[in-house]
Chains A and B, each alone.
Chain A
Amino acid sequence: MLLIECPWCGPRAETEFSYGGEAGIARPADPDALSDAEWADYLFYRSNPKGAHRELWNHDHGCRRWFGVERDTATYRIERSYVLSHTGSDAATGSDAATNAGTGYSSGNGD
């Protein structure tokens, strides 16, 4: 069983999580402008690397938040977990989010 570090809840058993596939896939801004092949590429094709892989996990049985995990698909070793940003880029926040620093909200204009 994997021990996955939720950015908020800390290390938890894999059974508390569900897998969400490859991370960092941005929805095309203008789908109508895409060819069928480009749309299919967005929908179905994934990088499927052997080695470092950024992927989405949801802490279903915990805080129910989506977050990112960088995992080696060959060794299963998890390098880091990170909070997803609101802007679509999923590489914005480091794993120091485990200290509850990141919430997915921008902190600038809370009110």
Chain B
Amino acid sequence: MSEASPALSGKEGVPPSGKVGTPSPHGRHGLEPFFATVESAPDARVAISVRTGRGFLNLRLNPHSRKAREAAERILGQPMPLAANTFTVGKHRVYWLGPDEWLIAAGEERASDLGSGLTDALAGFHAAVNDLSGGNVELLVGGAHARTALAKGCSLDLHPREFAPGQCAQTSLGRAAVLLAADGEPSTYTIIVRRSFSDYLCRWLENAARPHGAGFSVL
């Protein structure tokens, strides 16, 4: 293994002492080396960002159980998407993953707190809540040529006519399994990818976006 970065050199499980507002463990996405060294083009028409500090929960419940759904929605403060391959935006983002499965990208609230709330609210129902914060990385791809760059490695038609804002899809991007979501602004996409694939995917994105001018930032 190569040298540990200073941020990771402390004893495992021992938080840095005395610092208030230290990023949660979820603040580290593992892409620091990539974003620290990658060069942005001056006239970037594809903007690639990584969002730090996002927590993720996987929620499974029987969608026909209205009581279970309402219990979850009370905690979430927003409706859960029931239509396949759509997401709702409120305090959190709730993505449809399957007929009985959702991914919650937590907003301001800590995913662990939200997860406890959901677990309590769903006690007694046939349901499961799992914290996947450490396992996922959220990337944003936007800019005038974002769609063209993504289309190089995605078999879906990403034109807004077919993939409109509010729609999401689990699919392959550059052979990596991703959750791809069309955001409100035209040609802006959220990509949620397994952490272990995120470095590979960023390098794939860099390659796909380079002819269009690629810009990189950490959010």
Contact = CB atoms under 8 A, between A and B. Distances in A.
A15 B176 CA distance: 11
Interface residues of B, number: 23
Interface in A52-111: 60-65, 100, 102-107, 110-111
A22 to B, nearest CB: 24
Interface string B167-204: 00111100001000000000000000000000000000
B66 to A, nearest CB: 7
B64 A110 contact: yes
A25 interface: no
Given A8-B99, A103-B64, A105-B100, A62 B170 contact: yes
Contacts of B67: 110-111
A25 to B, nearest CB: 23
Interface residues of A, number: 22
A13 interface: yes
B97 A15 contact: no
Interface string B59-72: 00011111110000
Given A63-B170, A110-B64, A13 B98 contact: no
Given A16-B171, A16-B172, A103 B99 contact: yes
A34 interface: no
A12 B62 CA distance: 25
A59 B56 CA distance: 22
A102 B177 CA distance: 25
A9 B84 contact: yes
B44 interface: no
A12 B99 contact: no
A111 B65 contact: yes
A104 B84 CA distance: 14
B84 A63 contact: yes
A61 B153 CA distance: 14
Given A8-B84, A16-B172, A100-B84, A63 B155 contact: no
Contacts of B169: 9, 62
A15 B84 contact: no
Given A8-B85, A64-B98, 6 more contacts: A8-B84, A9-B85, A100-B83, A103-B64, A106-B64, A111-B67
